[in-house]
Structure 1
Amino acid sequence: MDLDCVVVGEICVDIPLLTVDRSIPLKDIEYAPIQQIRPSAGGIVPNCGTIMSRYGLNVSGFAYVGDDHWGQYLTTRCKQVGLNTDCLYMHPSSATSAAAIIVGDDGEHTFFYHAGASRQLDKTCILENLDIFRKTKFALIGYYGLMPYLEPDLAEVLEAIQLTGCKTALDTAGGGGAFEPLDRCLPFLDIYIPSYSEAFAQTGETDPNSMLLKYREYCPNALLGIKLGSRGALLSTHLGHRLEVPSILPPDPILDTTGAGDSFYAGLITGLCRGYDVETASRLAAASGACCITGIGPTAGIRSYPETLKLAKI
């Protein structure tokens, strides 16, 4: 089966704890009632994979899970939402990655995380399985800043994936990570769109245009961008080009911002796979992000593809 996208990297069990007053220091909270706990699949693999699958793309996950109950849970959940799971591998010694997420009244969140199997992904695992990328349009890898065994060799891996004919995209998390080894990765990226805070951590620049210029030094032909939260995004396809992407009014009240960045990427890649130009695909990305924040967790708020197109006015 030909694939539209292989999503590579982070997969974990998310345990949301809501709603909590995050303005109170944790040391001052002895007891706090929360809503019913509903575990879900989290990380870029199930987040973006679920959304793109819901939008009608053929998507595969590529990640490590543990040989345990939660690993079986994640594999089953991915299958249920339409992901190909042939490249979800059981790690022989590490437990499945897991995150407890404290969600505040404002929808913002704090993560408490066990790294586990997902963080064990390395270049050997990917280079030994390059065949899947030869039949794929896009590889979306994440999260830069949270892949300790892959990042030293990430440039080599990205180059190898590009040589199969598959386009590459990279997402970030964990504060953004350092500019090195990102500088060595940028020449082998077709898409790179960090958040403002992540781009600030990487470049030291405060102006989004200056951030893009810094990245552009290393990748003259990539689609670059900065996600600006409620202010939308700023994209650039080449030196001197700017595309301001306005945010889209969410269709319902904001409940939880978890996964908003992932949903933006999922919408963008969906649009590009559908043959849309960058401006149209970016509107789909903004609409996907607007839907995401109306549900609890990264995918509950996602609408159908036709509904999202309507919201994006496509």
Structure 2
Amino acid sequence: MDVVTFGESMVLFSSDQNLPLQYIHQFNKQMAGAESNVAIGLAKLGHRVGWFSKLGDDPFGHYVLHQIRGYGIDTSRCRHTNDAPTGIYFKEQRTHGKTQVYYYRHHSAASRMHPDELDEAYLAGFKFLHVTGITAALSPDCLAFTRKAMASARKQGLKIVFDPNVRWKLWDSEEAAKQVLLELAGYADYILPGLDEGELLTGCKQPEEIASALLKPGVAGVVVKLGSEGAYYQSEQQGGYVAPFPAEEIDPVGAGDAFAAGFISGLLHGDELEQAVRKASAMGAIAVSVNGDVEGLPNEQELLHMIHHHDDEDYQNVKR
């Protein structure tokens, strides 16, 4: 197996109307969550993926599980509970490309993941572990669960990709977030902060400075996501900027998850860091150009076609 990840996935309700939620009467039901978005992105690219969580033993929990399993993802380590519900959230799109999200996840089933429930032997069957800072912020038990999973994966030789993925509504303070996220980054082989997250963790404002500050012994690479301006990557051997792929921004939610999926896919294919970041950037561009977190994500052939088509256009522009 290639990649395993874990975390909370919720039922998403959104509308085709660009109105405040209080004026919306009909909603579309979907499923989304940062870690499952990454898992689905990787599965659509042809990788063998596992995802696990704790879900409510309710209709929404079974819906989430069936949706993720439908992509061919192994969900055999998921648990259901009658003690708490599956989380939900609502997406409000007020104007073109402007999105507000409202979460109803407090005391959800996923927040009750306990470190004693971790199947460490299961982790050993994978090459990569993907982790976000979201899970650690759900509850003290989830933080302990995340620590144990990362420590176990590191001990068993998995490569760990860590995305801080800050959700401010889940943290008590910036200092609390910084302390925990830096601790978790210490387990990682690859760290994928956004520019604001990098500033939070390091106090630095420039991508090069952020990457240098996070590139501690044991870290193979840092990639600072710059949104519409591309990304900056750094390892001990190399560093540089990757230009963004052109995209019309329709829905920015899920772009970072698509970026992570493209990046990990590149690493699995043995790509150099720069090429892996280019795949990540292309995936992010595809994600923002469609509504929904995962529905528009490409397969491997479609992703490579986009990259090659972009390269051909650049070549023709240089010739002109």
293-302 or 196-205: bigger deviation: 196-205
Name the counterpart of 2:239.
242
Which AA in structure 2 matches 1:203? T
Cα distance change of structure 1 residues 263 and 119 upon mapping to structure 2, 3 Å threshold: same
In 1: Cα distance, 2:166 partner to 2:129 partner? 17
Which AA in structure 2 matches 1:243? G
114-123 or 269-278: bigger deviation: 114-123
SS of equivalent to 1:180: helix
Does residue 109 in structure 1 map to residue 109 in structure 2?
no
Aligned partners of 2:7 and 2:36 also within 8 Å: no
In 2: Cα distance, 1:294 partner to 1:86 partner? 33
Cα distance change of structure 1 residues 157 and 79 upon mapping to structure 2, 3 Å threshold: closer
SS of equivalent to 2:65: helix
Name the counterpart of 1:60.
50
In 1: Cα distance, 2:281 partner to 2:71 partner? 22
Aligned mate of 2:280, from 262, 285, 292: 285
Equivalent pairs, count: 298
SS of equivalent to 2:23: coil
Cα distance change of structure 1 residues 152 and 200 upon mapping to structure 2, 3 Å threshold: farther
Cα distance change of structure 1 residues 53 and 74 upon mapping to structure 2, 3 Å threshold: same
Cα distance change of structure 1 residues 223 and 104 upon mapping to structure 2, 3 Å threshold: farther
Aligned partners of 1:63 and 1:118 also within 8 Å: yes
Aligned partners of 1:14 and 1:41 also within 8 Å: yes
Name the counterpart of 2:305.
310
Cα distance change of structure 1 residues 268 and 62 upon mapping to structure 2, 3 Å threshold: same
Deviation (angstroms), 1:256: 0.6
Deviation (angstroms), 1:281: 1.3
Residue correspondence of structure 1 range 185-204 to structure 2 within 5 A: 185-204=184-203
SS of equivalent to 2:262: helix
After TM superposition, which residue ranges in structure 1, 4 or more long, deviate above 4 angstroms? none
Name the counterpart of 1:25.
none
Aligned partners of 1:192 and 1:224 also within 8 Å: yes
Name the counterpart of 1:207.
206
Unpaired stretches in structure 2, ≥5 consecutive residues: 312-320
Aligned partners of 2:251 and 2:290 also within 8 Å: yes
Unpaired stretches in structure 1, ≥5 consecutive residues: 22-28
Residue correspondence of structure 1 range 255-270 to structure 2 within 5 A: 255-270=250-265
Deviation (angstroms), 1:267: 0.6
SS of equivalent to 1:135: coil
Name the counterpart of 1:157.
149
Does residue 174 in structure 1 map to residue 167 in structure 2?
yes
Deviation (angstroms), 1:132: 1.6
72-81 or 85-94: bigger deviation: 85-94
In 1: Cα distance, 2:200 partner to 2:17 partner? 29
SS of equivalent to 1:84: coil
Name the counterpart of 1:94.
84
Name the counterpart of 1:141.
131
Residues 81-133 of structure 1 deviation map (CA, whole Å, 9 limit, x = unaligned) = 1111102211341100111111232323222112211222242222xx01121
Q: TM-score, normalised by structure 1?
A: 0.87
In 2: Cα distance, 1:243 partner to 1:108 partner? 30
Same amino acid, percent of matched pairs: 22
Does residue 14 in structure 1 map to residue 12 in structure 2?
yes
Q: Which structure's residues are more often helix, by fraction?
A: 2
Aligned partners of 2:15 and 2:24 also within 8 Å: no
Aligned partners of 1:286 and 1:312 also within 8 Å: no
Which AA in structure 2 matches 1:193? L
Cα distance change of structure 1 residues 30 and 81 upon mapping to structure 2, 3 Å threshold: closer
Which AA in structure 2 matches 1:147? L
Aligned partners of 2:41 and 2:261 also within 8 Å: yes
Q: TM-score, normalised by structure 2?
A: 0.85
RMSD: 2.3
Name the counterpart of 2:113.
121
Name the counterpart of 1:24.
none
Deviation (angstroms), 1:45: 3.1
Aligned partners of 2:50 and 2:74 also within 8 Å: yes
Deviation (angstroms), 1:53: 0.7
